[in-house]
A = this chain, B = another copy of it.
């Protein structure tokens, strides 16, 4: 059989020698899961490194009090490296990853991962670069939560979640989870945005009327 082309979708893997690509595809398998699947979480740690081929995985953390905050998203072409680290260390890992859409991923078994890290410099760089990406994401979250203003963060998130589209389908509670705040806070901010004619709300849906105004608010230093 010919080598599947998924490897080339990963910037950082596409330059691997053909022989290594061969090994990668032989030792991994492609899995898929429907939207809503818990990819990993407390008591459900996969024994593989996952490389996302399509879809997105939302990684969030839930506090003792039951409140939740979104840490980052894994997009197609990226990997779930943080899982592997915490897997190796047997650390209590309170974060969970949930498929936000239908997803497909290449699963690389631990042994193959270990082998690649040790023998292929380019793969090693790929892994460390993925770590760096995630860690800077976490730094960003800390900065936002500790010092950011809610209205700016909400405006920013609305734009990000819209993905360029004109409207987005989310509940106030989901937005609250995105920001790690309370639903009431989101409701009040959205009411204010609507009063300014920046958005229009309906049940479970938000239409962006003035994307520029939102972006301006989000960019306020």
Interface residues of A (CB under 8 A from B): 61, 63-65, 67, 69, 71, 82, 84-86, 88-89, 91-95, 114, 117-119, 121, 124-125, 128-129, 131-133, 135-136, 138-139, 141-143, 145-147, 180, 221
Contact = CB atoms under 8 A, between A and B. Distances in A.
For chain A, what secondary structure do more than half of its interface residues adopt (helix, strand, loop), or is it mixed?
helix
Contacts of A119: 118
Copies in the complex: 2
A136 to B, nearest CB: 5
Contacts of A136: 86, 91-93
A67 B132 contact: no
A135 B69 contact: no
Contact of A85 (B63, B69, B128, B147): B128
A108 to B, nearest CB: 15
